[in-house]
Structure 1
């Protein structure tokens, strides 16, 4: 098995790693939450494990490249902002939520630090799969149990999303994807885990599990297409902020920290590393509320998405911010960097 080459694309960077060896398991990770009781995405009452101190395993994922981007399923990470990621060799690293693509249901979290030498998975040819091919799932079914392998065979190489329960009601993109159907056991906590071939190369990301060992994975060539767009070499300004739509529930939670205006808007919950100075230099603080963008009131997250698209072209965003009842009008000129979407949560 050859590890994927580095982002420079040099073949000389490829190295052989023995399949299913201790080193091979490193980029197959388990994901745990790192949370505070004040986290607005967390409903403490809904989860008794939080109060009992039970080890709280969210699910599995894979380290996609040497910069520390971890891919998983949105259901694994959609309730938290910060995570503890345990690598296959037991190493533990903090990570933060980075991005979710709802069109194909893939989420990205980013390992902390400036390393560019994280262990990463090797990919195989998902288009070459045939009925009956042997496949394995690399999962983490219980807290403390890692590098767990189950095996089975491919039962369908191009199962349309429109034919799969739980996917057939999704958007047009997911319904049109041809998924890999297989019989390798996927535990409930292993959604987001890797599907690998007999040579140890990743050929899919598990997205659904059903009874009777009927499981489906999104083919790895689809994941590769997503990641190439995600890390486009083109540059544009980045928002560098973690934003939430101001729901009534979130407004009630916020009252313990700030005076909350009775307005629609987007809550500035946090600032992402290295990208926050164009906010803080203008006096914007955590828990301020954006009520208007580019001259129009914010009535839904769609208004924010449109503003981000315009930002990529103009490089400037005019916002109205409500801070403790004080209204301020600001002009933001974010820095130029990789075109990665802002972290926006409903």
Structure 2
């Protein structure tokens, strides 16, 4: 039986090519070197990522005042706005009105609330124009000038139909700068508009916008509307009332008076009484303390009552004694509520309510005749009535 030779006695195979083995070793060393380099770079990147905030704070923090960068000139539009504010702001004042205190036998007397608004210096005599609703029912009035001086004031005249009032400053020490007066007749939709006032008590606030619309109608006192009202999107808020609406030349074109807003803050729909009406009303208030109110001497039914009766027009409840309406033969409703005369037109224009009639009488003018179309018992007739000033009758 033949036996196998021991393992140790088996001759080894042939040796691999030395060059091949050397190449394999070089590739292995290269792979290891690349791996080590990648690990080192990853460690360096991780170290930099961790240290970056600290290095940035160390190298780039401004430990002293920054160098001011040269701005250059303001844009022409900016220069014009800045100059406008410098020119007009001394003519704008802050108006404070304290209501009369109410004494109650059940509660301790409390300090009456103070409401505030804006106003404009009208002339060098110290007359200030503001909204009537700002100073209505006030027992004490005060005005803070743009200089900071506080001056007491009194009411010279009020025109509720136009929501305007004129105050008289009492011995101001600050030099008065009357506002420049413009015109509202030639305004155009789209032109720039600027408002200066004291919204929420923040004095000397400038807002800008455009004239959004013209010839709006704004109701003020009962049965009266201001016509030709200016609509603007310049921000107007509570406290702007009585302040100026200006054109780009810094001239007064309106007195800001109302906004339309669901929240009570500016919604971009503000209204200003046109300066042409302001000029006329303020002149009358300074001269006589009142503004002539065109009328014919009637007491009309409320429009909601007229609508419930299904009547289109102005229902005459009664005529004032010796009034133009009474002399023209117009008759009011009977004691049992029977309607006699209804005004349906004036000078050929339909009359649907008292605002239409008031506008027609204002167009005709005090001392002139107006032709009224009267409906009585289903029949129509025309009556000529002279327009008169009823402001004194209202006051009495």
Q: Are 1:107 and 2:165 matched, yes or no?
A: yes
User: In the alignment, what sits opposite 2:323?
Assistant: none
Tell whether 2:236 aligns with 1:171. no
Deviation of the 1:51 alpha carbon? 6.1
Q: Identify if the C-alpha distance between structure 1 residues 77 and 199 changes in structure 2 by more than 3 Å, giving closer, same or farther.
A: same
C-alpha offsets along residues 53-110 of structure 1, whole Å, 9 cap, x if unaligned?
99x4511111111111111111111131322201122222111122211221211111
Q: Any residues of structure 2 matched to 1:121-270 within 5 Å, and which?
A: 121-143=179-201, 145-161=202-218, 167=219, 170-172=222-224, 174-175=225-226, 177-211=227-261, 212-232=267-287
Query: CA 1:131 to 1:43, structure 2 compared with 1: closer, same or farther past 3 Å?
Result: farther
Distance in 2 between the 1:87 and 1:140 partners?
Answer: 12
* Contact 1:81–1:97, Cα closer than 8 Å, also in 2: no
After superposition, the C-alpha distances for 1:22-54 in whole angstroms (9 at most, x for unaligned) are x63112011123x5xxx7x33489xxxx96999
Question: Which entry has the higher C-alpha Rg, 1 or 2?
Answer: 2
CA contact (8 A) 1:42 1:80 kept: no
Q: C-alpha distance in 2, partners of 1:25/1:90?
A: 12
CA distance, structure 2, for counterparts of residue 67 and residue 217 of structure 1: 25
Determine the structure 2 residue equivalent to 1:20. Answer: 85
Unaligned runs of 5+ in 1: 1-17, 162-166, 236-340
What SS does the corresponding residue of 2:161 show, helix, strand or coil?
Answer: coil
Name the structure 2 match of 1:42.
Answer: 101
Quick one: structure 1 residues 58 and 114, their matched pair in 2 at CA, closer, same or farther if it must change by over 3 Å?
closer
Which runs of structure 2 are paired with 1:304-323 in the superposition (5 Å)? none
Comparing both chains, which one has the higher relative contact order based on Cα–Cα distances under 8 Å and sequence gaps of 6 or more? 1
Normalised by the length of structure 2, the TM-score is 0.46
Structure 1-normalised TM-score?
A: 0.52
Which stretch of the first structure deviates more once superposed, 107-116 or 60-69?
107-116
Give the aligned CA root-mean-square deviation in angstroms: 3.4
Aligned to 1:98: 156
Distance of 1:59 and 1:114 partners within structure 2: 19
Distance 2:286 2:110 in 1: 39
